[in-house]
A and B are shown apart, each in its own frame.
Chain A
Amino acid sequence: MSDYLQLVQTYFPYVAKGASITIQLTIVALLGSVALGLLTTFAKLANLRLLRIVASIYIELIRATPALLQLFIIYFGLTSFGLRLDPFTAASITLSLVGGAYAAEIFRAGIEAVDTGQFEAARSLGMSTPLAMRRIILPQAAVIVLPPFTNFVISMIKDTSLALTISVPEIMYRSYDASSQSYRSMAIYSMAAVLYLAICLPLSGFAKALEKRRASR
Chain B
Amino acid sequence: MSKTILELQGLEMAFGQLSVLRGVDLKVEEGESIAIIGPSGSGKSTLLRCLNRLETPTGGNVLFEGTRIDARTDINQLRTRMGMVFQQFNLFPHMTALANVMEAPVHVRRIKRDQAEAEARRLLEKVGMLEKAGSFPKQLSGGQKQRVAIARCLAMQPRLLLLDEITSALDPELVGEVLDVVRDLARQGMTMLLVTHEMRFAREFADRVVFMDGGVVVEVGPPEEIFTRPKSERLRKFLTAVLEQTT
Whether a CB of chain B sits under 8 angstroms from the CB of A126 is yes
Q: Decide: A125 and B152 in contact? CB cutoff 8 A.
A: yes
User: With a CB–CB cut-off of 8 A, which chain A residues contact B94?
Assistant: 139-140, 143
Q: Decide: B79 and A126 in contact? CB cutoff 8 A.
A: yes
B110 CB to nearest chain A CB (Å): 11
Instruction: Pick from A115, A121, A135, A143: contact of B107, CB below 8 A.
Output: A135
User: With a CB–CB cut-off of 8 A, which chain B residues contact A139?
Assistant: 94
Name the interface residues of A37-56: CB closer than 8 Å to any CB of B.
Answer: none
Q: Decide: A127 and B90 in contact? CB cutoff 8 A.
A: no
Q: Decide: B88 and A126 in contact? CB cutoff 8 A.
A: no
Q: Decide: A125 and B88 in contact? CB cutoff 8 A.
A: no
Instruction: Pick from B93, B103, B138: contact of A125, CB below 8 A.
Output: B103
Instruction: Pick from A117, A126, A135, A143: contact of B90, CB below 8 A.
Output: A117
A125 CB to nearest chain B CB (Å): 4
Q: Decide: B107 and A127 in contact? CB cutoff 8 A.
A: yes
User: With a CB–CB cut-off of 8 A, which chain A residues contact B108?
Assistant: 125-127, 131
The CA-CA distance from A126 to B152 in the complex, in Å, is 12
Whether a CB of chain A sits under 8 angstroms from the CB of B156 is yes
Q: Decide: B54 and A123 in contact? CB cutoff 8 A.
A: yes
Q: Decide: A117 and B52 in contact? CB cutoff 8 A.
A: no
Instruction: Pick from A120, A127, A140, A217: contact of B54, CB below 8 A.
Output: A120
The CA-CA distance from A180 to B108 in the complex, in Å, is 64
A22 CB to nearest chain B CB (Å): 35
Instruction: Pick from B76, B83, B90, B104: contact of A118, CB below 8 A.
Output: B90
A160 CB to nearest chain B CB (Å): 33
The CA-CA distance from A131 to B79 in the complex, in Å, is 14
Tally the A-B contacts, defined by beta carbons under 8 Å. Answer: 57
User: With a CB–CB cut-off of 8 A, which chain B residues contact A136?
Assistant: 92
User: With a CB–CB cut-off of 8 A, which chain B residues contact A126?
Assistant: 76-77, 79-80, 104, 108-109, 156
The CA-CA distance from A122 to B108 in the complex, in Å, is 10
Q: Decide: A124 and B107 in contact? CB cutoff 8 A.
A: no
Q: Which residue of B lies closest to A129 (CB)?
A: B76
User: With a CB–CB cut-off of 8 A, which chain B residues contact A120?
Assistant: 54, 86, 90
Q: Decide: A124 and B103 in contact? CB cutoff 8 A.
A: no
Task: Bits for A60-92, please: 1 = Cβ < 8 Å to B, else 0.
Answer: 000000000000000000000000000000000
B56 CB to nearest chain A CB (Å): 13
User: With a CB–CB cut-off of 8 A, which chain B residues contact A217?
Assistant: 138
User: With a CB–CB cut-off of 8 A, which chain A residues contact B107?
Assistant: 127, 131, 135
User: With a CB–CB cut-off of 8 A, which chain A residues contact B156?
Assistant: 125-126
Q: Decide: A121 and B77 in contact? CB cutoff 8 A.
A: no
Whether a CB of chain A sits under 8 angstroms from the CB of B116 is no
Whether a CB of chain A sits under 8 angstroms from the CB of B216 is no
User: With a CB–CB cut-off of 8 A, which chain B residues contact A182?
Assistant: none
The CA-CA distance from A28 to B174 in the complex, in Å, is 53
Name the interface residues of A166-217: CB closer than 8 Å to any CB of B.
Answer: 217
User: With a CB–CB cut-off of 8 A, which chain B residues contact A131?
Assistant: 107-108
The CA-CA distance from A121 to B83 in the complex, in Å, is 10
Task: Bits for B149-161, please: 1 = Cβ < 8 Å to A, else 0.
Answer: 1001100100000
User: With a CB–CB cut-off of 8 A, which chain B residues contact A127?
Assistant: 76, 104, 107-108
Q: Decide: A135 and B54 in contact? CB cutoff 8 A.
A: no
User: With a CB–CB cut-off of 8 A, which chain A residues contact B92?
Assistant: 118, 121-122, 136
Task: Bits for A109-148, please: 1 = Cβ < 8 Å to B, else 0.
Answer: 0000001011011111111100100011001100100000
User: With a CB–CB cut-off of 8 A, which chain B residues contact A128?
Assistant: 76
12 of the cross-chain contacts (CB-CB < 8 Å) are A115-B88, A120-B86, A120-B90, A121-B90, A123-B79, A124-B54, A124-B79, A125-B104, A125-B153, A126-B104, A128-B76, A135-B103
- For the complex of A and B, the 3 pairs showing the least CB-CB separation, nearest first, are A121-B90, A126-B80, A125-B104
Residues of B in contact with A (beta carbons under 8 Å apart): 52, 54, 76-77, 79-80, 83-84, 86, 88, 90-94, 103-104, 107-109, 138, 149, 152-153, 156
Supplied contacts A118-B90, A120-B54, 20 more A-B pairs, CB within 8 Å: A115-B88, A117-B86, A117-B90, A121-B90, A123-B54, A123-B79, A124-B52, A124-B54, A124-B84, A125-B153, A126-B76, A126-B80, A126-B108, A127-B76, A127-B104, A131-B107, A135-B107, A136-B92, A140-B94, A143-B94
